[in-house]
């Protein structure tokens, strides 16, 4: 078969990153070929009777890139752009993310090509239940464990779980994670990604010998991940000097009162910073947040926000990527020349998938943990993972992003080697 390329940008980047790191590791050709392909790509049709009585057929997908380390793990999204190649790219990234996180999972991803914003609850339920029925032969607590993704959440997970439980005639709570706490979900999941991001930031500062106390931070995106990262960092002594959301950026060189801002968004009908005030606070255009004088930047909003047009003007020394892919490859090279240290997304935001692993473990055991147990275990694992990558970075004299890929690929390659090639 040889090396693959793809017309799909996401899949092409995923393949190129993999081949680059695998060659640097000196993996043998057979292993590169195995891991450059997905184990299983399932494509299904989803016929649904719409509210107006017409019948529509949607395309659905589930890709399992690798199950060498454990069951495939990864979200199911509902979006008009969903296609098999995109699912394959994201499944491959999940393999590396789970491997790097040190949890017993491979990588999977799935989705339905649809626009949920134009669908009623009833239509969404019928899409979700039909998808669950169509992928039922390949999902299971020990085979493939899906989770929420773009436009899916706790409600969809409950529909999936309920459909498969009814088909199998027994409750199957451990097949899907991201369920509500009242239905086999877990305490702690909401905060997990933000806590993990902050843990990486604190470990990075410790590793370079910089005190957390007094470190200045700016955070793009004051949503789920950004808020919990900010709260943890200020509680550890850091000073958050800039935050932003879709309503703009907010700058205060003496430090933003993050607990007050958090209370503000929770009281705002759309959970936004709009109208937030405190002494010394100035509102600036959203884009200008990136150029604030600070030590650490946490992009926690969108992909591609740091690009070749703005990378040169960024003044921070450290970036911890909370969002997926916030820095384009061109910007990455510019930031590298400026000596900026970057903790890559699939290490920094892996608190989310580690949290899913905790939910699965609790569901399999039928015994639920306290929030404190959850957080203690999460922070312990995040610290270990950070240091595994940090040590490898220093040993091999490569960037953290490349080191993270190499560490992740090595674990999966070892599993394939030990288990053998058959199946
Ligand atoms: P969220 O929707 O809760 O928050 C996103 C925030 O970004 C909001 O405050 C929004 O107003 C803001 N935002 C959007 N566009 C912006 C812009 N142009 N400028 C400034 N702010 C903008 O989402 P989240 O769950 O916090 O996720 C944030 C990022 O982290 C996403 O890239 C997501 O894929 C990634 N991520 C999230 C998790 C998780 O567990 N939630 C796990 C892994 C990765």
Ligand 1, atom 20, lies closest to the CA of: 245
List the one residue out of 257, 276, 279 whose CA is nearest residue 268: 276
**Distance from CA of residue 234 to its chain's centroid?**
23
Instruction: Name which of 16-25, 45-54, 85-94, 108-117 the model is least confident about.
Output: 16-25
Look up 396 and say whether it is catalytic: no
Q: What share of the chain is helix, strand, coil (3-state, %, to 5)?
A: 50, 20, 35
**Which tens digit of pLDDT belongs to each residue from 188-243?**
999 999 999 999 999 999 999 999 999 999 999 999 999 999 999 999 999 999 99
**Which tens digit of pLDDT belongs to each residue from 351-404?**
999 999 999 999 999 999 999 999 999 999 999 999 999 999 999 999 999 999
**What is the C-alpha radius of gyration for the chain, rounded to an integer number of angstroms?**
21
Q: Is 40 helix (H, G, I), strand (E, B) or coil?
A: strand
Q: Are 255 and 294 in contact (CB under 8 A)?
A: no
Structure token digits, residue 50: 């719409």
Q: Directed axis angle between helix 84-101 and helix 371-396, to 10°?
A: 90
Say which of 73, 109, 179, 187 is annotated catalytic: 109
H-type alpha helices, 169-223: 189-207
Is the predicted pLDDT of residue 423 greater than 80, yes or no? no
β-sheet bridge partners, residue 320: 343
pTM to 2 decimals?
0.94
What is the position in ligand 1's atom list of the atom closest to the CA of 265? Answer: 9
Q: In Å, what is the CA distance from 85 to each residue of 13, 15, 34, 41, 90?
A: 12, 11, 17, 10, 9
What pLDDT sits at residue 2?
83
List the one residue out of 341, 201, 222 whose CA is nearest residue 274: 222
Angle at alpha carbon of residue 294, lines to 292 and 297, rounded to 5°: 90
The residue whose CB lies within 8 Å of the most ligand 1 atoms, and thus the one to mutate among 90, 101, 189, 224, is 224
On average, the pLDDT of the chain sits at 96
* Ligand 1 center to 372 CA (angstroms): 25
Which residues line ligand 1 at a C-beta cut-off of 6 Å? 193, 220-226, 244-246, 286, 300-302, 322-324, 349, 352
Q: Are 67 and 141 in contact (CB under 8 A)?
A: no
Q: How far apart are CA 346 and CA 96, in angstroms?
A: 8
* Ligand 1 center to 322 CA (angstroms): 8
Q: How far apart are CA 231 and CA 312, in angstroms?
A: 29
How many helices (DSSP H) and strands (DSSP E) are in the chain?
Answer: 13, 12
Percent of the chain at pLDDT above 70?
100
List the one residue out of 227, 260, 222 whose CA is nearest residue 244: 222
β-sheet bridge partners, residue 59: 45, 113
Residue holding tokens 């999941």? 189
């Amino acid at each position: 078969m040889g090396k693959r390329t793809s017309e799909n940008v996401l899949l092409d980047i995923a393949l190129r990153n993999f081949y680059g790191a695998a060659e640097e590791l000196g993996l043998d050709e057979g292993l590169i070929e195995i891991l450059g392909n997905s184990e299983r790509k399932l494509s299904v049709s989803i016929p649904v009777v719409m509210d107006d009585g017409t019948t529509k057929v949607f395309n659905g997908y589930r890709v399992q890139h690798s199950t060498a380390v454990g069951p495939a793990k990864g979200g199911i999204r509902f979006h008009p752009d969903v296609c098999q190649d995109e699912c394959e790219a994201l499944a491959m990234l999940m393999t590396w993310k789970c491997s790097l996180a040190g949890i017993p999972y491979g990588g999977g991803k799935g989705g339905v090509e649809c626009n949920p914003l134009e669908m009623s609850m009833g239509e969404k339920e019928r899409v979700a239940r039909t998808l669950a029925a169509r992928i039922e032969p390949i999902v299971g607590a020990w085979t493939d464990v899906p989770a929420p993704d773009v436009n899916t959440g706790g409600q969809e997970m409950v529909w999936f779980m309920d459909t498969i439980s009814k088909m199998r005639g027994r409750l199957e709570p451990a097949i899907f994670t991201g369920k509500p706490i009242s239905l086999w979900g877990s305490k702690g999941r909401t905060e997990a990604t933000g806590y993990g991001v902050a843990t990486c930031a604190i470990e990075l500062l410790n590793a370079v010998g910089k005190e957390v106390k007094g470190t200045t931070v700016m955070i793009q995106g004051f949503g789920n991940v950004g808020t919990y990262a900010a709260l943890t960092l200020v509680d550890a002594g850091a000073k958050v000097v800039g935050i932003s959301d879709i309503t703009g950026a907010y700058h205060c060189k003496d430090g933003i009162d993050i607990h007050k801002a958090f209370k503000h968004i929770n009281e705002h009908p759309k959970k936004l910073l709009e109208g937030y005030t405190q002494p010394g606070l100035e509102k600036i255009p959203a884009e200008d947040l990136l150029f604030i004088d600070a030590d650490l930047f946490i992009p926690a909003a969108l992909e591609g926000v740091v690009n070749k047009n703005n990378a040169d003007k960024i003044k921070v020394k450290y970036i911890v990527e909370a969002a997926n892919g916030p820095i384009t490859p061109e910007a990455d090279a510019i930031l590298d020349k400026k000596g900026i240290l970057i903790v890559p997304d699939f290490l920094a935001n892996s608190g989310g998938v580690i949290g899913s692993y905790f939910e699965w473990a609790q569901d399999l055991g039928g015994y639920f943990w306290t929030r404190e147990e959850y957080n203690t275990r999460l922070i312990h694992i995040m610290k270990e993972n950070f240091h595994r990558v940090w040590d490898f970075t220093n040993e091999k004299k490569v960037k953290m992003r490349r080191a993270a890929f190499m560490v992740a690929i090595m674990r999966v390659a070892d599993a394939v080697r030990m288990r053998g090639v058959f199946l």
